[in-house]
Amino acid sequence: MKAVLINAPYKELYGPDRPGIGNYFPLGLGFIAAVLRRAGHEVALIDPEAMGISEKALVERVRSFNPGFVGLSCLTPNYPAAGRLARAIKAEVDAPIAIGGPHATAMRGQVLSDNEAFDIVVVGEGEATALQLCAAIEGGSGLDDVAGIVYRWKEGFRETPPRALLKDLDSLPHPARDMVDMSAYFRPHMYWDIGVRSASMIASRGCPYRCIYCASKGTMGDRLRLHSPGYVVDEMESLVHDYGVKYIGFMDDTMILNHRWVRELCGLIRERKLDVSWHCVMRVDAASEDILRTIKDAGCRRISFGIETGDPGLLETSGKGTTLDQARFAVRAARDVGLTVINTYMFGFPGETWETVRNTIDFAIELSPHIAMFSILVPYPGTETFKEFVHREGDGDIDWSDFIFSSGLDAIPIGGMSSEDLKKALRLALRRFYMRPAQLARILTGMNGPREILGYVRGGIGVLGKISIFH
């Protein structure tokens, strides 16, 4: 069977902030494409934004391929773009169209009600479901036996039983990066150096924590599942040798939890003498001086900590499960071993006030990482904060393109502060954190050569274009 997999565009939503936004290879579709190809299907993977092709050209490419199955992937803010593409494709191609991803999983009934072009919603992980879908469509056997979907049936919809999560992640082939031009993909400005080929990876799936703002459990489950260290390093080696990659960004939420696994991973990286630098995200309660030094010695250059808030009360109700003292230790220890530290913070939690905003800004200044990323909390579907949003705003017509994770102009108030006040808080945080001589010096002295400086300048211009910190 011929199958087309499409990544819905998203960068158009960022406006002037686009220069600071990376192009990410669609890992989810990459895994699905690899699984379908291994089973003998003919697969086309299309990422129109990275490829620089228009909607019209995309539709023509799909039409000429003449697929028997079309799959679209999107997040919440680019769900409208996915719907627009599906309608355009449906007008030219007689094939069932499925949509997947965290938004479709959380809003599966509404997705089919919203858009007549979507025939199927893939709920949760997509690899095994897409494989079974293609077999069912090709064989004409109907969809009742395909687990993990919602599909149109008579005058309504039918939802099949949920699909169990993959137990053995190593059973998956590596993502089908050979189906696209990998030179089109790069990490955002604070994670990469201009002129250095970069790529993204995931080493794990699932998260056991209960953050009220995170929707990943809906698709990836609530327990940590890890690829073996050998699988991960094989993929890293392929990126280095086959694609010339010099920098890898791990996209995992909770990769650095099992320290024994991390030590084995880092040992293999050193053993194979991989000439590659990398970045990862770590929870502050998982940090230790030993594990930070271990990852640094294996090529990790930058580490991100999700601090989220500097107010102890909001931190407790956020479900994060960490403390301010753990954050203090983690940032200090990471800096001591020579890692570039990037902290993330959000405004707009339920219960947010100007006092809690000031607590967060003061805490960011106290920790003084190399980079502090401030944003406004987005109540994504599938989260506790989305329930707060629906309770406050109702569940009528929602402009999903407003649900964009950005340091931009849009703000969705759910916690008591108005949209305007949240934007003021963002501007205040940027002014107070970055307009300090000591912080500017820290950024400059932490840069590794002119290419990295150009990367920061590129991102800074984008941020300043969207939010005037001098206003």
Domains along the chain with CATH numbers? 2-159 (3.40.50.280), 186-466 (3.20.20.70)
The torsion defined by the Cα of 229, 232, 234 and 238, in degrees rounded to 10, comes to: -160
**Unique residue bearing structure tokens 């601090």:** 307
The torsion defined by the Cα of 86, 91, 93 and 95, in degrees rounded to 10, comes to: 60
pLDDT at 421: 93
The overall average pLDDT reported for the chain is 89
Minimum mean pLDDT range among 325-329, 352-356, 399-403, 428-432: 399-403
Among 65, 80, 117, CA closest to 96 = 117
Q: How many other β-carbons are positioned within 10 Å of the β-carbon of residue 225?
A: 14
Kindly state the tokens that stand for 318: 């956020």
pLDDT at 466: 45
Kindly state the tokens that stand for 61: 């490419």
- Percentage of the chain surpassing pLDDT 70? 88
- Percentage of the chain surpassing pLDDT 90? 73
Q: How far apart are CA 40 and CA 2, in angstroms?
A: 10
pLDDT at 444: 73
Q: How far apart are CA 48 and CA 56, in angstroms?
A: 10
pLDDT at 193: 59
pLDDT at 397: 79
Minimum mean pLDDT range among 253-257, 300-304, 372-376, 409-413: 409-413
Taking only the tens place, the pLDDT of each residue in 382-433 is 999 999 888 777 767 788 888 886 655 567 888 779 999 999 999 999 999 9
Q: How far apart are CA 212 and CA 113, in angstroms?
A: 27
Residues 96-117, mean pLDDT to the nearest whole number:
94
Categorize the per-residue pLDDT at 460 as very low, low, confident or very high, splitting at 50, 70 and 90: low
Residues 6+ apart with CB under 8 A from 1: 41, 42, 67, 68, 69, 134, 137, 138
Among 380, 361, 375, 349, CA closest to 436 = 361
Categorize the per-residue pLDDT at 470 as very low, low, confident or very high, splitting at 50, 70 and 90: very low
pLDDT of residue 130 exceeding 80, the answer is yes
Cα 148 off chain centre by? 22
Q: Tally the C-alpha atoms within 13 A of residue 457's C-alpha that lie toward its C-beta.
A: 8
pLDDT at 411: 79
Residues 6+ apart with CB under 8 A from 325: none
